[in-house]
Structure 1
Amino acid sequence: MTYQNILSEIKNGTLYITINREKKLNALNKDTLAELADAVAFAQENPEVKCVLLTGAGEKAFVAGADISEFSSYTPEQGEALARNGQATVFDAIENSRKPFLAAINGFALGGGLELAMACHIRVAADTAKMGLPEVTLGLIPGYGGTQRLTQLVGKGRATEMIITAEMITAEKAERIGLVNYSVPAQELIVKSEEILNKIKQRAPLAVAAAISAVNAVYRDGVNGFEVEIKEFGKCFGNEDFKEGVTAFLTKRAPEFKAL
């Protein structure tokens, strides 16, 4: 697929995805979501990709929300279909990815932009970034998992306040309440993000995937997360990464894990 709205490049095992609509503050329109869905699927299938760094073009915005003009005349049925499709192909696909996604939040992350960042497994924000879910100012609510993931990350009270006041928060506050992992000077954003991903790339990819699956099970209704952990733990004993990791440990050498 040829991309018009995102940039995609693999470097040293990391797939860099940049939402490239700087003049539109990287707003998510249908074409951009379709390209993101394709890039996420590509990451899962390509053995060269060990992890993904997701960011926005320019210095102003990570993603400043959805392209409102595209859905301003939607019916309730069309609105529901929009949310359901986006959830399945982009947001849930990222959260359930076997490969870690890190959001490098370089500027405004609003509405669908914050929802996109929250779908990622790790978030690093520039100290100049601001975040929020302003949908109620449009007579809407978040539709790409915002009500669920924000509550999981910061708790019911803070999530409810952010959503129904539509107030933005700073990167410093986002770090303090657990919405992002780190707030760093803007010039250090990519360096810090790459530092985290480089650590992950040294670990056993099959174990990393198993850990993501087990952590995600915490939030699945009707699923016993302890049981998921036990099964994932057991499966690790049957893969080559475990054999390589143990052999390397016992022979006092660095492990050489295979790509997922």
Structure 2
Amino acid sequence: MMEAYVTTDISSEGIATITFFHPSQNSLPSHILSLLAETITHTSTNPLTKIIILQSGGERTFCAGASFDELASIQTPEEGTHFFSGFANVINACRTSPILILGRVQGKAVGGGVGVAAATDYCFATQHASIRLSELLIGIGPFVVGPAIERKIGIAAFTELTLHPSNFYSASWAKEKGLFAEVYDDIPALDEGISNFAHQLIQYNPEALKALKKAFWEATEHWDSLLKQRAAMSGTLVLSSHTQKAIANFKK
């Protein structure tokens, strides 16, 4: 079985590709989420970086959310807050990066994976990239990733997605609502589309791109504290009897 990793490759033209991977359908434990957030921040401050492409390894699943095994092991509110802060830190790293981030979603995205896609500035996907917010099934909610997703698709679509936790919504639905900007038939077409767009962007004034990035995320400056509060909320809920019972049933 392959080991989990986060890697960065910066081309001679300044296109930085950050790739994360976990053998369990790209469901991410805390240490990988922490490394991913740090990598996004570090790569964003590298003077060689002009554009970032954020992607996952493998072909079938973009990100299945956070590690369920780690979720099931939470014993205290503090542990819960730390666990749910993982995706909060990744989202805030994307938000505060001065560099435009292109998302590459090759397959299904669940829970926190939808949040990562929403945290990119312009997201590409294949037709196989269906999405689901499954948190309500175990008695919590998509509180941490909610602000990023709602920012992209609006409160009505976010409500629909949240209140149907068993449903996968198609990539075309996600494009219609604004989560995905472009949807392709397969991975080769996806990669060609991202490459062409990235090479187009690096021809523009880098200062203009940085100013646009700041404008895109205007009025989100409070997210550092907001997402921490949301993580604490989830960290408390995960210890409720309802959620503990649901987690036990899932493990069975």
Which interval holds the TM-score relative to the shorter structure? Answer: 0.7 to 0.9
Aligned-residue RMSD, C-alpha: 1.8
Find out whether 1:156 has 2:155 as its counterpart.
Answer: yes
1 or 2 for the larger relative contact order (CA 8 Å, sep ≥6)? 2
User: Tell me, what secondary structure is at the counterpart of 1:217?
Assistant: coil
8 Å Cα contact 1:83-1:143 kept in structure 2: no
Determine the C-alpha separation between the residues in 1 that align with 2:150 and 2:113.
Answer: 16
What residue identity is the alignment partner of 1:71?
A: L
The corresponding residue for 1:68 is 68
User: Alignment partner of 1:62: what SS?
Assistant: strand
Task: Write out aligned runs for 1:1-260 (5 A).
Answer: 4-11=4-11, 12-21=13-22, 23-74=23-74, 75-84=76-85, 86-87=87-88, 89-144=89-144, 146-166=145-165, 167-186=167-186, 187-219=188-220
Instruction: Provide the C-alpha distance between the structure 2 equivalents of 1:175 and 1:132, rounded to a whole number of angstroms.
Output: 14
Number of equivalenced pairs: 216
Cα distance change of structure 1 residues 193 and 220 upon mapping to structure 2, 3 Å threshold: same
TM-score (norm 1): 0.77
Q: 1:220 to 1:9 in 2, by over 3 A?
A: closer
C-alpha contact 1:66 1:112 (8 A) present in aligned 2: yes
Q: CA deviation at 1:42?
A: 1.7
Contact 1:16/1:53 (8 A) holds in 2: yes
In the alignment, which residue of structure 2 is the partner of 1:235?
none
Runs of 4+ with deviation above 3 angstroms: 218-221
Gaps of 5+ in 1: 222-260
Q: Is the 8 A contact 1:18 1:57 kept in 2?
A: yes
Corresponding position of 1:230: none
Q: Distance in 2 between matches of 1:10 and 1:220?
A: 28
- Native 8 Å contact 2:114 2:132 kept in 1: yes
Q: 1:41 to 1:154 in 2, by over 3 A?
A: closer
What is the distance in 2 between the residues matched to 1:128 and 1:198? 25
Q: Distance in 2 between matches of 1:25 and 1:82?
A: 18
Q: For 2:209 and 2:42, how far apart are their aligned partners in 1?
A: 18
In structure 2, relative to structure 1, the CA distance for the partners of 1:125 and 1:110 (3 Å cut) is: same
* Contact 2:18 2:40 survives alignment (8 Å): no
How far residue 84 of structure 1 moved from its aligned partner, in angstroms, is: 3.6
Report the identity percentage. 25
Contact 1:5 1:32 in 2 (8 A): yes
Displacement of 1:73 in angstroms is: 3.2
User: 1:182: Cα distance to partner?
Assistant: 0.8
Instruction: Report the alpha carbon displacement of residue 219 of structure 1 after superposing the two structures with TM.
Output: 4.7
Q: Is the 8 A contact 1:118 1:150 kept in 2?
A: yes
In the alignment, is the contact (CA less than 8 A) between 2:174 and 2:180 conserved in 1? yes
1:100 CA displacement: 0.8
